[in-house]
Structure 1
Amino acid sequence: MPAKDIYHETVKKALIKDGWVITHEPLPLKWGRKDLYVDLGAEKLLLAEKIGRKIAVEVKSFVSPSEIEDLKNALGSYLLYSDVLEQIEPDRELYLAIRKAVYFDLFEESIGQLLLQHHHVRILVFDQHHEEVVQWIP
């Protein structure tokens, strides 16, 4: 079992405040002989549609000295989990959870915009101080 990110509990609380039910902590994925774990699995009932929406959330702190190294690691995890989820649970959407400051420092810049456009990375932006979801980037 992988270690929890330092913002794991913060994102969990933010999702609950946003109306999500945490269903997995972590969400296990098995592909071949490999066991993978996405930090959180969650569901939200959409009353108008009478169906649930399911997500998987990978939490990344971006606290190392190199934000580009953190970005490479986060993108690698995201792409791996996204490919596996597409095969075994295609109705579950994967999100990368990052702090508001990281979003503005990286994803509002040209490098982040390139990644969002080219790789279709879904992002959940959270405020770590208020433990709230600030923005969903589909």
Structure 2
Amino acid sequence: RRRSFNAVNLTTGLQRHFYRFGIVAGGADLTYDGAAGARVDVLGGREVESRAVADRRFAAGVYGGYEHVMARLSVLLQLGYTAWRGVDDAEVPRFYQRYGARFRFSEHVWSTFAVRAVKGRKASFMELGLGYRISWRGR
């Protein structure tokens, strides 16, 4: 039997548009992973499902990366490290990669489609997001 679990990610970061086509970024991720600690045991011939309590399903990490800008569309690659997680599973790598695309609706609003992967090839999350940019300098 296949189970689906919810996941929510909140990302914040600082970006530096250092030339016409390039942005470097660094920031932090806070993730709720509904599958954290999920397992199925067989007891007395019956399957018994369990998972971690809600407050242990969170994780926090840091990331850095590059975004290649082509007009309103950009492609991003970010490398991250999960610094803390409520359920510390030795089989789940702490390093992750985020590959994706971003579309800018305006100077301040964008949407993102990305895949968060581990070991460069195993997808752990698909991310759909909306972002808002706060400018530190008046324009």
Q: Same fold (TM over 0.5)?
A: no
- Whose strand fraction is larger, Structure 1's or Structure 2's? 2
Greater relative CO, 1 or 2 (CA 8 Å, sep 6+): 1
TM-score normalised to structure 1 length: 0.29
- Whose helix fraction is larger, Structure 1's or Structure 2's? 1
TM-score normalised to structure 2 length: 0.29
